[in-house]
Structure 1
Amino acid sequence: MQEVESTSVFRSAPFLRLWTGTTASGLATWALPFILGLAVLDRSIGAVELGVVLAARTVGFLAAAPVAGVLADRYPRRRVVLWAGLVAAGASPLIALGLGRSTVLMAVAAAVAGAGQGACRPAFQALTAEVVAADQRQRANAAMTLSVRVTTLVAPGLTALLAVVVDTSALLVGTGVLWLGAALLPPKGTAAVVATGSRFAADFVAGVREARGHPWFLAGLGALTAVIATGYSATGVALPLVSRDRYGTETVLAGALTAYTLGALVGAVLIARWRPRAEGWVALAGLGVYGFAPLSLLLPVPAVVVVGAYVVAGVGIELFNVPWFTGTQREVDPRMLARVSSLDFLLSYGLAPVGLALIAPAIDHFGPRPVLAVCAVVCFAAPAAAALVPSTRGFRTVTRRQAGGPGR
């Protein structure tokens, strides 16, 4: 095993600006469902309205991600981030305006905000590769994910405290301010991106073709999608039920979710300094250990075992995420990086709602134990199957030239 150089990526002003911008966007993204949850508690909206608004945001995200992937490869990534952030910033006050007055207005504004979020993600991924030197990207990606995990851990309490001082509408407007920061803070990239002049569909297909040229990427994306669509969805539905019915307390639910975030923090710190020789296989193993989460809910174990399983799952997911992002930034043609990244987000995150929609009725029909058992098997088996693809060992694409044969 190898350790990464000790130089801090935060000594780079461009990266610090990029990190601050992505942190602001992550906080704004996380805050919306939590704030709307507070609105349900104070009866400004009902549970049905909450579901409609969050579904609209997801639709906006999924619709915008592939479009933004093409645009961020045609034009400067900084410009795409700017306009995406401004769009989300403008939509946030409209959600506040519709609160308790118009579900339609809230849903449309949430879809627009989701589109801004979806447009930012591939552009941020590509911009990171421009701003950060190749030998520092693993640390940079670890720093990015650390900000997400710290936000998840700390922000609920801070938001609840703010809710004592200001109302829900003001908090929603505050997410617009965060999006404004996400739009304005990131630096300019270094790549000279030139508009291709070709049709959108042709550019998108070119991105798919580029992704297909990296077998490790297809295998890893398939495994990630399977784990998110089954494991994440199953535990999201089953954990509250198991916490209530088996242990008779909400403490297990809160403890497991907190443990997952703390585990992810540990994983991010670890992978920031450690480069395994077979980093792809280590990453897939980390992804696979998420299977311990549904397995712990399946078996009649003490509550501390459930919490421990979520710690392990959290460590594992960051052992996967950071090398995955770094490998994509290193191996994919820089001219197509945003398009390939958009496919990543589109499939992995896009199928999560589908998984939730199928898992909940499956648990109602078959009961939680068979569903959790199937999901645990998928979480273990999908990354193991992906590891059978040779290039997943290091998340590196071996061309015929590199292998000693004629070049493409």
Structure 2
Amino acid sequence: MTTPPPVSRASGRWSSRRPSWAGRNYVLLAAAAVVTQLGSHGATIAAAFAVIETGGGAAEVGLVTAARTLPLVLFLLIGGAVADRIPRHHVMVAANALNCVSQAVFAVLVLSGEPRLWQMMVLTSLGGTGQAFFSPAAEGMLLSSVSGDQVSRAFALFRMAMHGAAIGGAALGGGMIAAFGAGWVLAVDAAAFAVAGLLRAFLDVSHIAPRARGGGLLADLREGWHEVIGRPWLWSIIAQFTVVVAVIGAAQGVYGPMVARDELGGSRPWGIALAAFGVGTLLGAVLMTRWRPRRLLLAGTLCVFSYAVLPAALAVPLPIEALVVAMLLNGVAIEVFGVTWMTALHQEIPEEKLSRVSSYDWFGSVAMLPVATALAGPAESIFGRGPALWGCAVLVVVATALVLLVPEVRNLTDRRTRKDPAAGASGVSDTTGAPGVTEAPGVTGAASADAEGTVRRPG
């Protein structure tokens, strides 16, 4: 652990009011994440409705969503290895620049006329490529930037700021689509990426030791794989979320907008429902600033059963008022998992391998997502929308029940104590930095990260 630099006079009275772990990096990363969340949560809704407004249905929405997630599957592992080799903030800035350009072109096409399906697929695939490199770098930055007894609180407070922005972004996005159209929401998202990239360019990573080049990219990937496969709690939860993220991605990204159009009244109520989920995650983050469960993964995994709420609610479908309540409670439960998962990774994984482990984590989360979203339309045609959504709910329950059979998931404990603040930490941290992401729902969407709109688990 490095020693934090002394507080300069230039930092003044403002620095003295911050917690010791809320250094310069924390402020920059938090500000960038908030800006991105404001843009991306509205843009996720806007992309789906841009397809719908051109006459597309569930199949077309699924293809555009799959076009975004396919590059994640292809490039995530490479992105993780790259982020453990070069300064992580350089990777983050380059990814933000790519996302900015792709969203700006998407916005121009929507505002200037009727975009073609292939054009929307190409542009969303560029956005997915940017996220494939951004996510492991951002999560590695996040996990390596805090240490000591307040790790969980730091993660929870950071996520609280993100979720507050997500609430505003989802509600604002739904309202802007109704008032001005999807194109302007996409333009706002492009501007948000530009601002976030500029903020991240000023991050200080001098406290992180330079990485040895090692034996090459493939050797780095093998080393990350052995780190994952040697920890049953890690690979089992990654496998669990391979299923969970895929089915919730289809429910939220494909069926959700269609149910909103046919049953709920359009984009505005769907935006309100997603905002309610955001409120729930905000409340969950508040809870996790005060609650520190001893069995980290047991407490978190039990909360993953709540992921079944979304597809079940859409299958009924519940009226908007009940859907809002269900999404609120779901958000609280999912945030418990998000913080406990991040704390477990911070405690167990060496700092120099964080981005590679994160890339395998992300890879598991999105591996089946392109397939699930692309097949959502055909599944609706064959089985009907209701049965397809009930099937999503059942798969969530089964996958989560199976992972609880793994002893390490039930028994992994929080080893930190107030007498030894650094106990169990990865060993390469600094109080000058602080949490820096997460995507996802995300599932994601329903869950996490400096979310560029992709559904994944909340970590």
TM-score after normalising by structure 1: 0.79
Q: 1:388 maps to which residue?
A: 405
- Write the distance in 2 (CA, Å) between the matches of 1:343 and 1:140: 24
- Write the distance in 2 (CA, Å) between the matches of 1:283 and 1:249: 34
Q: 1:403 maps to which residue?
A: none
Relative to structure 1, is the Cα distance of residues 366 and 276 closer, same or farther in structure 2, using a 3 angstrom cutoff? same
Q: Counterparts in 2 of 1:6-405, with a 5 A limit? A: 8=19, 11-36=22-47, 47=56, 55-96=66-107, 100=112, 108=122, 110-158=124-172, 168=184, 171=188, 173-188=190-205, 190-234=207-251, 236-239=253-256, 249=265, 253=270, 256-298=273-315, 304-393=321-410, 395=412
The C-alpha deviation readout for 1:167-192, integer Å capped at 9, x for no partner, is 73853652442343353243325221
- Write the distance in 1 (CA, Å) between the matches of 2:320 and 2:103: 39
Relative to structure 1, is the Cα distance of residues 11 and 215 closer, same or farther in structure 2, using a 3 angstrom cutoff? same
Relative to structure 1, is the Cα distance of residues 359 and 58 closer, same or farther in structure 2, using a 3 angstrom cutoff? closer
- Write the distance in 2 (CA, Å) between the matches of 1:355 and 1:213: 29
Unaligned regions of 5+ residues in structure 2, if any? Answer: 1-17, 416-459
- Write the distance in 2 (CA, Å) between the matches of 1:96 and 1:299: 34
Unaligned regions of 5+ residues in structure 1, if any? Answer: 1-6, 399-408
Q: CA RMSD, aligned part only?
A: 3.7
2:171·2:275 contact (CA, 8 Å) conserved in 1? no
- Write the distance in 2 (CA, Å) between the matches of 1:107 and 1:240: 18
Q: Which stretch of structure 1 is more off in the superposition, 296-305 or 350-359?
A: 296-305
- Write the distance in 1 (CA, Å) between the matches of 2:371 and 2:87: 33
- Write the distance in 1 (CA, Å) between the matches of 2:337 and 2:166: 19
1:281·1:392 contact (CA, 8 Å) conserved in 2? yes
The C-alpha deviation readout for 1:183-217, integer Å capped at 9, x for no partner, is 32433252213242423222112111111111111
Larger RCO, structures 1/2 (Cα 8 Å, 6+ apart): 2
SS at match of 1:388: coil
Cα deviation for residue 340 of structure 1 reads 0.9
- Write the distance in 1 (CA, Å) between the matches of 2:29 and 2:274: 28
Q: Which stretch of structure 1 is more off in the superposition, 168-177 or 72-81?
A: 168-177
The C-alpha deviation readout for 1:255-302, integer Å capped at 9, x for no partner, is 543332222221122123211122211100111122233334455877
Q: Which stretch of structure 1 is more off in the superposition, 276-285 or 49-58?
A: 49-58
- Write the distance in 1 (CA, Å) between the matches of 2:72 and 2:324: 32
Q: Aligned AA for 1:18?
A: L
- Write the distance in 1 (CA, Å) between the matches of 2:225 and 2:152: 25
Q: Aligned AA for 1:283?
A: G
1:229·1:352 contact (CA, 8 Å) conserved in 2? yes
1:57·1:110 contact (CA, 8 Å) conserved in 2? yes
- Write the distance in 1 (CA, Å) between the matches of 2:183 and 2:316: 43
Higher helix share: 1
- Write the distance in 2 (CA, Å) between the matches of 1:389 and 1:50: 37
Identity of aligned residues (%): 29
Relative to structure 1, is the Cα distance of residues 374 and 54 closer, same or farther in structure 2, using a 3 angstrom cutoff? closer
- Write the distance in 1 (CA, Å) between the matches of 2:315 and 2:207: 50
Q: Aligned AA for 2:167?
A: L
Q: How many residues align?
A: 389
- Write the distance in 1 (CA, Å) between the matches of 2:159 and 2:345: 16
